[in-house]
Amino acid sequence: MTTEPTGISRKNLLKAAAAAAIPSALLAGTVPALANTEPLTPTPFCDDGDDPTPPQMEGPYFKPNSPRRTSMLDGAGTRLTVSGYVFGLACQPIANALLDFWQADNAGAYDNSGYRFRGHQFTNAQGAFSLTTIVPGLYPGRTRHIHVKVQAPGRPILTTQLYFPNEPRNATDSLFNPVLLMTVRTVPSGREGTFDFVLNVAGTSSPSPTTTPTSTPTQPGGTWQAGQYYAVGAQVTYGGLRYQCQIAHTAQPGWEPPNTPALWRRL
């Protein structure tokens, strides 16, 4: 990651436009227009020359089919918001990117029977996301962290983890990577964390061309099959009903179309 000492690069201009929801058509030669926008909170990633956000192991506690929600508040703990942007390699904001978070509760326990502290959401048109949760508790062997999967439409899933600064265990957790540190500040309501993801997506954030998989109806449920990759627009049948894929993904058991309205729209 390189630091830009002065000036406004095209990438930072894109970031500023994303933060201020300025249409990209206004970008060319619009530095004066940006002068009236709110100052940006410095973000640690997506400067010129940045690499994609590194992956980390999924660990044993991921569960598919998390509920779609931006607040996972449930139970005791210090309130925490995590917000930021999802960018491509050119710092272009990526809209409709899927973020699926899961974390330990205040006592350091994962909910493996239900969906406490599990939730997914999609970035808005500016590529922004915001999660309301609690500071995850510690559990043996690990420093404090939040798991997340991030996927641009039509792209592979990035599985990684976010970390907290000034945690004593950061120094002893072999998985800890300082590149994945959030910027965290204390506020009256608790903590505010920010992190910008950079996905290995070149150029624009347009989804890849749609294709319809040539599935064969070997399952009683229909043509939908776990393990099959579905592009945006792909159509399947399940339970005698037809569905169209909304977010490119590789199907997993538990992600059947009736269970995942964020992924599948009934036709």
Residues that bind Fe ion (CB under 5 A): 59
Among 250, 249, 246, which residue's Cα sits nearest to residue 263? 246
Shortest separation between residue 110's beta carbon and Fe ion, angstroms: 7
Q: Which is nearer to Fe ion, 48 or 58 (CB)?
A: 58
Q: How far is the CB of 221 from Fe ion (least distance, A)?
A: 32
Which CB atom, from 141 or from 254, has the smaller least distance to Fe ion? 141
- In the 8-state DSSP scheme, what is residue 64? S
Closest CB to Fe ion among residues 52, 59: 59
**Least Å from the CB of residue 168 to Fe ion:** 17
**Alpha carbon separation from 167 to 164, 170, 178 (Å, rounded):** 6, 5, 11
* 160, two tokens: 């990684």
- The single-letter DSSP state of residue 57 is -
In a 10 Å sphere around its CB, with 0-12 CB exposed, 13-18 middle and 19+ buried, how is residue 18 labelled?
buried
Check if the beta carbon of residue 61 is closer than 8 Å to that of residue 102. Answer: yes
In the bound state with Fe ion, the residue whose beta carbon lies nearer, of 85 and 163, is 163
Dihedral sign from CA coordinates of 179, 208, 221, 242? positive
Q: Which residue is nearest to Fe ion (CB)?
A: 59
Nearest approach, Cβ of residue 139 and Fe ion (Å):
7
Cβ-based nearer residue to Fe ion, 118 or 155: 118
> Given the complex with Fe ion, which of 59 and 137 has the nearer CB atom?
59
Contacts of 5 (CB under 8 A, 6+ apart): none
User: How far is it, in rounded angstroms, from Cα 40 to Cα 61?
Assistant: 35
Strands 264-266 and 158-163: unpaired
Residue in 250, 120, 123, 249 with CA at minimum distance from that of residue 197 = 123
Q: How far apart are CA 21 and CA 193, in angstroms?
A: 21
Least Å distance between CB 55 and Fe ion? 15
For the bound state, the minimum distance from the C-beta of residue 142 to Fe ion, rounded and expressed in Å, comes to: 6
CB of 123 to Fe ion, least distance (A): 23
Token duo for residue 154? 């039509």
Place of tokens 């390699």: 89
Q: Which is nearer to Fe ion, 137 or 233 (CB)?
A: 137
